[in-house]
Amino acid sequence: MVSGMQVSQRTEINVEILRRDGSEAKPYRQHFRIPYRPGMNVISVLMEIQVNPVTADGKTVAPVVWDCSCLEEVCGACSMFICGRPRQACSALIDQLPDPIILEPLHKFPVVRDLVVDRQVMFDNLKRVKAWIHIDGTYPIGSGPRMNEKIREKMYAISKCMTCGCCLSVCPQVNDRSAFVGAAPIAQVRLFNAHPTGSYMKSERLDALLEDGGVAACGNAQNCVRACPKQVPLAESIADVGMQTTLRAAKRFLFG
C-alpha cells in the first residue's frame, strides 16, 4: 500500500484481480500494471486491461471479464469488491484508491467468470416477497392516492435501492446454510407496504417474510448498513418490517 501523496504521483497502476475461468474453475490471482492517466476509474482500468491483456510479468492472458451498464452508480451491474469493500467500479476513482488495487467478484454470489457474478437469487427473493405494485396496464387508473409527505420522504430513501447486492455480500446470515432473503428485499417490503396502492398486498408480503429465511433470520450484524452505497435505511427498515410481521403473526394466530 502507498500513501495518498505517493498515489497522486503515480505513473502506473498496479492491479491484482481474483480471476476464475468459469463457475466450476479454481480461482487464481493475476497482477497487471497499466499506465496511469488522471481521472481514471476502475472501469477504465479494466478497459485498459481488456485492450492489452498482458500481466505485469509479460504474459498474454485472456481478457478480464466484468459487468457494467449505466456508469453512473444507478444500475449496480459493476458491483465488485474493490480493496476489500463492496462497491461500484464506475464510481471508484483511482486517485482515491491505494496501490495495488485489489479487485474481487462480489462475495456470496455464484461467480460466472472473473468479476461477473450471478445475482439472480436477489431477484428471486424480490419475487418471493412480492416487491412490486400489481398494475396490469390494460386501462388507465388515473393518479394514485397522495402519500403523507413525511412517509413519502422516508420511502424515497428506500426507493433508491439499485439491487446491487452489496448488502447481501457482507451479511453473515447470507450463506449456503440459510434461506435468508437479505436486507434489500426486506426494505422493499417496507416501501411497498407503505404505498397506498401497494398496501393491498401487505399481508402476502408479510406472510412471505414469516417463512424460513424471512425477517427473523436477520442476525442484526448491520454490515449491510455500512455497505449500502445508497444509504438505504436498512436496519431501520428491518426493525419496522419485523414489527409488521409480529403484528401479522398475532393476527393470524387470533383470527386465522
Selection from 249, 245, 88, 87 nearest residue 181 by Cα: 245
* Cα–Cα distances in angstroms (integers) from residue 44 to residues 27, 47, 246, in the given order: 23, 5, 48
* Cα–Cα distances in angstroms (integers) from residue 229 to residues 56, 164, 239, 246, in the given order: 32, 9, 20, 29
Contact range with ligand SF4 by CB under 6 A, out of 26-34, 197-205, 223-231, 248-256: 223-231
Q: Is 164 one of the binding residues for ligand SF4 (CB under 6 A)?
A: yes
Q: How far is the CB of 197 from ligand SF4 (least distance, A)?
A: 22
Q: Is 232 one of the binding residues for ligand SF4 (CB under 6 A)?
A: yes
Q: How far is the CB of 236 from ligand SF4 (least distance, A)?
A: 12
Q: How far is the CB of 200 from ligand SF4 (least distance, A)?
A: 24
Residue 80 near residue 105 (C-beta atoms within 8 A): yes
Q: Is 17 one of the binding residues for ligand SF4 (CB under 6 A)?
A: no
Q: Residue 1, class by beta-carbon neighbours within 10 Å (0-12 exposed, 13-18 middle, 19+ buried)?
A: exposed
Q: Is 184 one of the binding residues for ligand SF4 (CB under 6 A)?
A: yes
The DSSP bridge pattern shows strands 85-88 and 12-19 to be: unpaired
Q: Is 230 one of the binding residues for ligand SF4 (CB under 6 A)?
A: yes
Selection from 203, 202, 163 nearest residue 183 by Cα: 163
Q: How far is the CB of 118 from ligand SF4 (least distance, A)?
A: 15
Task: With CB under 6 A as the rule, give the number of residues binding ligand SF4.
Answer: 15
Find all residues with CB under 8 Å of 165, minimum gap 6, and list them.
76, 79, 86, 106, 108, 109, 117, 119, 122, 184
Q: Is 46 one of the binding residues for ligand SF4 (CB under 6 A)?
A: no
Contact range with ligand SF4 by CB under 6 A, out of 19-27, 30-38, 214-222, 226-234: 226-234
- Strand ordering across the sheet containing 12-19: 28-35, 12-19, 101-104, 79-82, 85-88
Contact range with ligand SF4 by CB under 6 A, out of 15-23, 36-44, 156-164, 173-181: 156-164
- Specify the residue, 89 or 164, whose C-beta has the smaller distance to ligand SF4: 164
Q: Is 161 one of the binding residues for ligand SF4 (CB under 6 A)?
A: yes
Site for ligand SF4 in 77-106 (CB under 6 A): none
Would you tell me which residues interact with ligand SF4 (CB under 6 A)? 161-167, 183-184, 187, 227-228, 230, 232, 234
